[in-house]
Amino acid sequence: MGFWEGKKILVTGGAGFLGKHVVSELENIGVKKDNIIVPRVENCDLKIQKNCNKAVLGIDIVIHLAANVGGIAYNLAKPAEIFYDNAAMALNLIDASYRAGVCKFIGIGSACEYPKLTPVPFSECDLWDGYPEESNGAYGLSKRMMLVQSQAYYKQYGFNAIHLLPTNMYGPGDNFDPNSSHVIPALIRRISDAQNRNKSFIEVWGSGEASREFLYVRDAAKAIILAAEKYDKPEPVNIGCGYEIKIKYLVTLVCRLMKFNGEVRWDTSRPDGQLRRSLDISRAREGFGFRAATQIEEGLKETINYWDHNRLLK
């Protein structure tokens, strides 16, 4: 508790998927609930500068998780909204934090910032070697702009702003909306719907040959807390588990865990997205001692259990 003792912490997006786990982790290490401030978009739209100015008053640490984000279908449908919303929130919040005397700003970026063609595993030094994969280009570039601003304020003002690059996250509390969800919750929802309707098959976008690195959300929350405590450099840091799996294997694994024996039909007219995505996690390990603890099968079981217990509410 030494680092957190007596500090006021603003967690933007604290009511969202990752945010709830970050708030829970802060409480687990002893931070008092009254010291964790979670703004809600209904009364604190971070795209408006005056709202950011007000939100950071008296705050010691900002953990910026709020984002307009979704899966491939959502990214393709709303690139303008995605770019503007994410860029505007970061621009306003970093500037307001610096001017209000915030001690530290933790910005959460994304592995989507990396160029489409990047040597695997992705190293932080390769971040600027090309344009992101087109299906998530607007989102990836909006997050890169947050990194640029963080480093500029670090260089000119000495403002302690760090930037983390988490890979694909999943786990309890994920977004299962079929119009905006990422691959794991979308797959779980699709299989569940097929079972409830006695369908003998499911359809999955792409060829299944693309690979992804998946990070359990509670591990991600712990990484953010560790980075806040121990990392004070302007260079971005990858947050991941250190291994990738093909989407085809992921589908097989989820089908087995959900006891679905039907056919998987691959819609190859739909995009795979980036062919491979796996991170070099050595900087996080060396910089603040983070290692992901949850294996993919264990994390998937927890996510499926969450869906089973909550699906009637969806």
pLDDT tens per residue across span 1-34: 689 999 999 999 999 999 999 999 999 999 999 9
228 lies in a domain?
yes
Residues 6+ apart with CB under 8 A from 42: none
SS3 (DSSP) at 28: helix
pLDDT (0 to 100) of residue 278: 93
Over 80: is that where the pLDDT of 194 sits?
yes
189 lies in a domain?
no
145 lies in a domain?
yes
Please compute, for residue 284, the number of CA atoms within 13 A of its CA located in the half-sphere on the CB side. 29
Q: What is the number of structural domains in the chain?
A: 1
From the candidates 139, 153, 216, 231, which is the catalytic residue? 139
305 lies in a domain?
no
pLDDT (0 to 100) of residue 43: 87
18-39 in b/e form (b: 16+ CB < 10 A) is: bbbbbbebbeeeebeeebbbbb
Please say if 139 is a catalytic residue: yes
The domain of 110 spans: 9-171+214-243+277-294
Cα–Cα distance for residue pair 26/220, rounded to 1 Å: 13
pLDDT (0 to 100) of residue 71: 82
DSSP code, position 133: P
308 lies in a domain?
no
At 198-238, the pLDDT tens digits run: 999 999 989 999 999 999 999 999 999 999 999 999 999 99
- Mean model confidence pLDDT for the chain: 95
CATH at residue 82: 3.40.50.720
Q: What is the pTM of this model?
A: 0.93
pLDDT (0 to 100) of residue 61: 98
Task: Retrieve residue 130's tokens.
Answer: 């090309």
208 lies in a domain?
no
69 lies in a domain?
yes
Cα–Cα distance for residue pair 143/94, rounded to 1 Å: 13
Over 70: is that where the pLDDT of 261 sits?
yes
Cα–Cα distance for residue pair 312/314, rounded to 1 Å: 6
Residue count (the chain): 314
Lowest mean pLDDT among 52-56, 124-128, 160-164, 307-311: 307-311
32 lies in a domain?
yes
